[in-house]
Copies of this chain bind each other. A is one copy, B any other.
């Protein structure tokens, strides 16, 4: 399997002739041990020991009836014939924001973590974060082009969430990764997310078709299931903001050393913080961010000074939107020096009074 993770190094690079993408490039695999070769979903994989051996409890969870090492519970496990990877997380005290609930950054971090553990646990992982063995042999990496997250409800400190993730083909040379976040206690779906990935050569930085050998690794894990029903998905192009169309511009945003990831690129979850920097304070305080779409364009390194642009507020009852929101914004994160685009984004907001 080759579930493209975001990745520690899920960062932006400049593609030579085509568009720009966020990449999941080479890095050390985590310290997870692989044991026991096995045929799974029709292909040979190595697999991690299953953390859940034994009976299934009423919630559908398989529970160990023998000795359990605590760390096995810290990771996830496959469900539904290994088509879906599931991991639970407890929201930690430092993952909540000023309104005492998990932040969008926290959700994106947890999605990233689940995707990476999915790849690692699959036994198909090569030497890069999220790349398959056949991809690694060819110096190929995953790059994310778009991600869309819809949040029904944000959890509080101490709440446990359960994240499901799976992948499917999209178009001729793309892969789609979806996620669903449930409140563990109520099993209510509280967040849905979808993302699109393509393959790139990590040396030439050119996009690549999916080689046959890679397709063979991936296909047995593809499952035709949508986290976000087509009629509720955000597939519209995000308009490019300019100095003229942006209502607010926040300049001088400087990536810190601590914003860098294992590849010394800005970790792309950090972009969210900068995007929100140009959103009016009263919106941050009194509205919930209910939907976010990110379109990745270019990588960002530590030396780059950034600018965050946000459109003037728009009524979302425009015909272009199939999501209901009280407020809709368009955003652009760009280099301050040459104004090159890094990320385009669209956010929906609902009043906290109406949306609890």
Q: Which residues of A contact B (CB under 8 A)?
A: 5, 7-8, 27-28, 30-32, 55, 57, 61, 63-65, 67-68, 70-71, 73-75, 88-90, 92-94, 96-100, 103, 105, 109, 112-113, 116, 120, 129, 156-160, 184, 252, 254, 256-258, 260-264, 267, 269, 272-274, 276-277, 279, 281, 284
Contacts and interface: CB of A to CB of B under 8 A. Distances in A.
Contacts of A272: 258
A88 B112 contact: no
A157 B63 CA distance: 26
Given A31-B156, A68-B68, A96-B262, 18 more contacts: A28-B100, A30-B93, A30-B158, A31-B157, A31-B159, A70-B160, A71-B160, A74-B88, A74-B89, A93-B112, A93-B113, A93-B116, A94-B109, A94-B269, A98-B263, A100-B262, A257-B276, A257-B277
Given A88-B70, A105-B258, A32 B158 contact: yes
B113 A94 contact: yes
Interface centre among A73, A93, A256 (most CB of B within 10 A): A93
B112 A94 contact: yes
Nearest to A261: B98
30 contacts: A8-B94, A28-B157, A30-B158, A30-B159, A31-B156, A31-B159, A32-B158, A63-B67, A64-B68, A68-B68, A70-B88, A71-B88, A73-B74, A74-B160, A92-B113, A93-B112, A96-B262, A97-B261, A97-B262, A98-B257, A98-B261, A98-B262, A98-B264, A103-B258, A256-B273, A256-B277, A257-B277, A258-B272, A258-B273, A258-B276
Nearest to A87: B70
A353 B23 CA distance: 30
Given A30-B158, A71-B184, A160-B74, A257 B284 contact: yes
B277 A100 contact: no
A71 B94 contact: no
A160 B72 CA distance: 10
Contacts of A256: 273-274, 276-277
Contact of A90 (B71, B112, B160): B71
Nearest to A250: B254
B68 A8 contact: no
B156 A30 contact: yes
Contacts of A277: 256-257
A65 B31 CA distance: 27
B27 A100 contact: yes
Interface centre among A5, A70, A92, A159 (most CB of B within 10 A): A70
Considering the complex of A and B, which 8 residue pairs feature the smallest CB-CB distances, nearest first? A30-B158, A73-B73, A74-B90, A31-B158, A258-B273, A71-B160, A30-B157, A98-B260
A336 B129 CA distance: 41
Given A67-B63, A105-B258, A75 B100 contact: no
